[in-house]
Structure 1
Amino acid sequence: MIADALRSRRWLLWGALLALVVALLAVLVFLATAYEQQRDQTALEADASGVASDIRSGLLRNVQTLQSLHSVAPSADAWDGPAAEMLASHREIVRLEWRDLQLRTLAQRDTPFMAQPFGQLDRSQARPDVQQACDNARRVSGPAYSPSYFWPLSDGLGMELMEMCLPVVRAGSTSGYLVATYGLPGILAELTTKDFLRGRGLAFTEPDGTRLALHSSVGGARRTLVATSLLDLPGHTLMLRLESPRAVYALFPNVLTAVVGVLSLALLAVLGLLAHDIRRRQQAEHELADALAFRKAMEDSLVTGLRARDMDGRITYVNPAFCQMVGYSTEQLIGSGFPAPWWPPELVDEYQQRQAVRLAGRDLPREGWESVFQRSDGTRFPVLIIEAPLIDAQGVQTGWMSAILDLTEQRRVEELNRASQDRLQATARLATVGEMASLLSHELNQPLAAISSYATGTLNLLDGPAGELRPDELHQAMRRIGEQAERAGRVIKSVADFVRRREQVREPVAPHSLFDAIAPLLGLQAKKLGIRVHTEIAPGLPAVQCDRTMVEQVLLNLARNGMQAMPDGDPPTRSGLRMLTLSARLAKPWTDSDRAPRKAWVEFAVTDHGQGLAEEVRNKLFTPFFTTKAEGMGLGLSLCRTVVEQHGGALVHETAQPRGTTFRFTLPVA
Structure 2
Amino acid sequence: MTTTTQPDLADSPLRRITSWWHAFEEALPGGRGRRTLWLALIALVMGVLITLVWLAGRYEASQLQAELEGDTTEAVSDLRRQLTRQTQSLQGLQSNTPLETFWNTEAQALLREHREWLRIEARDPELNLKNQVDSPLHKPIFKRVSRTDSLNETVQACAKARRINGPSYSSSYFLPQNDGIGFEVMEMCLPATQDGVLVGFTIVTYGLQGLLNELLGDSFGRRNEISFTEPDGTRLAIAGSQSRGLRVFTSQQLVNLPGNTLVLRMDGRRGEASIFPNVLTALVTAMSIALLTVMVLLVKDSRRRLKAERDLAEALAFRKAMEDSLVTGLRARDLEGRITYVNPAFCQMVGFEAEALTGRNAPMPYWPPEMVDEYKQRQAIRLAGNVPPREGFESVFMRQDGTHFPVLIIEAPLISVQGEQTGWMGAVIDISEQRRIEEVSRASQERLQATARLATVGEMASLLSHELNQPLAAIASYANGSLNLLQNPSAVPQTLDDVHMALRRIAEQADRAGRVINSVHDFVRRRDQDREALAPKMLFDAVAPLVQLQARKLRVTVHTHIDPQLPEVMCDRTMVEQVLLNLARNGMQAMDKPDCSDRRLLLKARRAASNAEQAWVEFSVTDVGEGISETVASQLFTPFFTTKAEGMGLGLSLCRTVVEQHGGHLEFEALAPKGTVFRFTLPVKAALLLDKIPA
Pair member with larger Rg: 1
TM-score range for the pair, normalised by the shorter chain length: 0.3 to 0.5
- What is the TM-score normalised by the length of structure 1? 0.39
- What is the TM-score normalised by the length of structure 2? 0.38
